[in-house]
Amino acid sequence: MLIGKVVGSVVSTRKDEKLESLKLLVVQVHDQQGRAQDAYVVAADAVQAGTGDMVLYATGSSARQTELTENRPCDAVVMAVVDSWDLDGKNVYEKWSEA
């Protein structure tokens, strides 16, 4: 998994029928220091994440292991909203400190 931030969403009406009802988020990849990277992924939303949320996303066949994404042509899923993480014992990110 990698850490990302939800920065947008994609709308599509003409799509494979197996994609119906999936919300598709634009997630900007972040590094372990919490810095935005010059990379993104479009991922299905399994946790009702909102814009600005720091999240974890999984890719590949693992992205089809949520109830929502099972058997769907979906190769990335947001499956957790991040509360916090630490590196070498120091807090890097705290969701609630941003409120």
* Residue 14 sits in the site that holds its own copies (CB under 8 A): yes
- Of 60, 97, 98, 99, the one binding its own copies (CB under 8 A) is 60
Within residues 71-90, the interface with its own copies by CB under 8 A covers 71-77, 79-89
- How far apart, in whole angstroms, are the C-alpha atoms of residue 32 and residue 45? 22
Q: Cβ of residue 97: shortest distance to its own copies, in angstroms? A: 13
* Residue 56 sits in the site that holds its own copies (CB under 8 A): yes
The three-class DSSP label of residue 21 is coil
* Residue 99 sits in the site that holds its own copies (CB under 8 A): no
**Choice between 9 and 99, CB closer to its own copies:** 9
**Choice between 88 and 98, CB closer to its own copies:** 88
* Residue 23 sits in the site that holds its own copies (CB under 8 A): no
Strands 84-87 and 90-94: antiparallel
Kindly state the helix (H) or strand (E) to which residue 93 belongs, with its residue range.
strand 90-94
Neighbour-count burial of 33, counting CB atoms closer than 10 A to its CB (0-12 exposed, 13-18 middle, 19+ buried): exposed
- How far apart, in whole angstroms, are the C-alpha atoms of residue 84 and residue 72? 30
